[in-house]
Amino acid sequence: MTRNNTREDWWKQAVVYQVYPRSFYDTNGDGLGDIKGVTARMDYLRELGVDAIWLSPFYPSPLVDGGYDVADYRDVDPRLGTLEDFDEMAAAAHAAGIKVVVDIVPNHTSTEHEWFKAALAAGPGSPERDRYVFRRGRGEHGELPPNGWRSTFGGPGWEPVGDGDWYLHLFAVEQADLNWKNPEVREDFKKTLRFWSDRGADGFRIDVAHALAKDLESRPLDEWPDDPDQDHPGAENPLWDRPEVHEIYRAWRQVFNEYEPARFAVGEAWVVPEHQWRYASTDELGQVFNFELAKANWMADEMRRAIEEGLDSAERSGSTTTWVLSNHDVVRHATRYGLPQVKSAAHHQLANDWLLRGGRSYHEDRELGARRARAALLMELGLPGSVYLYQGEELGLFEVADIPWDALEDPQAVMTAHGDAIKGRDGCRVPLPWEAEKDDFGFSAPATHAPAHLPQPAWFAAYAVDAEEADEHSMLHYYRRALKLRAELLTATGDTSLTWTDGYGDQVIAYRRPTADGRALTCVTNFGPVPVGLPAGEVLLASAELSSDGKLPTDATAWVIR
């Protein structure tokens, strides 16, 4: 069988595994995962059956925002390794038939970036400051911010630098927004794309892809609303999802096409579904994250709408869509699905809300969460397009909700003036458990090692890779089986058609896909309390045991082939 990812457009039907490098595997015992750790675990990734790995940022960074504050785009953080380690890792991945996707963070640099230091030194009105978004403050001596824009991490979006100028930061104070109208900025990112492409990167994940183009000119700054809403895009929004952003990606496409095969990119754009497809079109990035699945509650109608929106966006873009249940920014889905589901409430936000309160207001039902996570996987893997998995979901990890406040790293973990605590995203970033019996669950290779950078809970033992390997009913074995079947039956066809199978009522999602061997696979997910009968055929895989009369119970998915 030809492996999917030997095709030019492998990324259109891929399973991409997100590695959060600092929490994956630590080879030198400093308590931080490293690039060599990814190389060391390449067999694990190959056995899991993924087509590609995407590495969250591993560049030199003061780590104010988990590495999304980049100080140098064309190097490796010395704490995580060297460029040679990257080359070795990429070679090992390619030898294992795994593609490599790296993260590009173009909206902002770290304030430790040499450009930002030069901007501070050079003073107001300088070409150095023009690479960023500096504006004069209001008030007699510029003591007031240019306007009331807020940072998405909370607090003001402008920071004064002491000479009457303020710089814009849509995220942390240490993440200064770049000025994408500046030609040097544009050229430098092309250089970065070529740098990693030349070193073996097969694709890119583009951070906050919808924020690069901004309008600070068309009207006085203080006439914009304080908090332009990400969900109201277009020319009337000064910060998010502006039409000019697409010029940038059309220029990047030229760079991607310099390579053979052409590089691809997937944009992180939390935009309204009607706008996603533009980013994904073939003269731009090629793909964009569809977060609708991650936002949906465990309810048939919400999930079905999320799937329809993804398919619709794929059709409009002329590309394929992506499916995401978890990533490093949202509460793990095994936990989300174990919380009460509140109709139409943005599901991941509700779960974040739960976290803040330290789990006090709702009860997390882990058995239910795990059962639904299994069902969700088959529903997701049966769909046409690419599936992005987040490290640890193959072990069935839950969110670690009780990390002590003083151990948290996420800049979101701050107290606001109103006394509201935000616990942030560290609960899904805890270092992976590899060996149940070790003190740090085998996260660090050397016997003597520093503590893992985020504390691991005792219950991780049951989810360690070695424990799950020994148990054929584990989540890990289930993921391996499902990925293998998907690759053989679905990916191998290249056919992306899907037919909804109706007639099961409104508590069921059922669809049919053509398989590589000329048959059809029906995927049925039951969200309702009443067991449903399955179509005729062979049950290839089911997320839960069928009832004695062969019916699909509640919160379960089955793949039936015929």
Q: How far apart are CA 270 and CA 279, in angstroms?
A: 11
C-alpha count within 13 angstroms, C-beta hemisphere, residue 480 = 17
The letter for the amino acid at 12 is K
CB-CB contact of 333 with 351 (8 Å)? no
394 belongs to the binding site for ligand GLC (CB under 6 A): no
What CA–CA distances, in Å, run from 42 to 51, 57, 99?
Answer: 12, 18, 11
CA-nearest of 163, 111, 169 to 137 is: 163
Work out whether 426 is an interface residue with ligand GLC (CB under 6 A): no
DSSP single-letter state for residue 514: E
Distance CA 11, CA 487 (A): 13
Binding mask 26-55 for Ca ion (x = CB under 5 A): x-x-x-x-x---------------------
At which residue do the structure tokens 């794309």 appear?
A: 193
- Pattern 93-122, binding to ligand GLC, x per CB under 6 A? ------------x-----------------
Per DSSP, the three-state class of 208 is coil
Stretch that binds ligand GLC, among 26-34, 65-73, 255-263, 400-408 (CB under 6 A): 65-73
List the Cα angle 428/204/36 in 5-degree steps.
Answer: 60
Biggest CA-to-CA distance, the chain: 80
Q: Checking DSSP bridges between strand 499-500 and strand 508-514, what pairing results, if any?
A: antiparallel
165 counts as catalytic: no
**Binding mask of the shown chain, residues 152 to 171, with x at each position contacting ligand GLC by CB under 6 A:** -------------------x
63 binds ligand GLC (CB under 6 A): no
CA distance 282 to 264: 9
Specify the stretch interacting with ligand GLC by CB under 6 A; choose among 61-69, 215-223, 458-466, 472-480: 61-69
Interface with ligand GLC, residue 85, by CB under 6 A: no
Tokens matching residue 488: 């053989």
Three-class secondary structure of residue 182 per DSSP: coil
31 vs 261, beta carbon nearer Ca ion: 31
Task: Confirm or reject binding of residue 207 to ligand GLC (CB under 6 A).
Answer: yes
Q: Least distance in Å: CB of 102 to ligand GLC?
A: 14
CB 42 within 8 A of CB 96: yes
68 near ligand GLC (CB under 6 A): yes
Catalytic residue among 227, 258, 308, 472: 258
Minimum Å distance from CB 447 to Ca ion? Answer: 15
Residue 28 touches which of Ca ion, ligand GLC, none (Cβ within 5-8 Å per kind): Ca ion
Q: Smallest distance, Å, CB 386 to ligand GLC?
A: 17
Instruction: Among 309, 329, 394, 426, indicate the residue that binds ligand GLC (CB under 6 A).
Output: 329
Active site includes 207? yes
Q: Which residues are catalytic?
A: 207, 258
Kindly list the residues in this chain that would bind Ca ion in the complex (CB under 5 A): 26, 28, 30, 32, 34
In the complex, the residues that contact ligand GLC under the rule CB under 6 A are 65-66, 68, 105, 171, 207-208, 268, 328-329
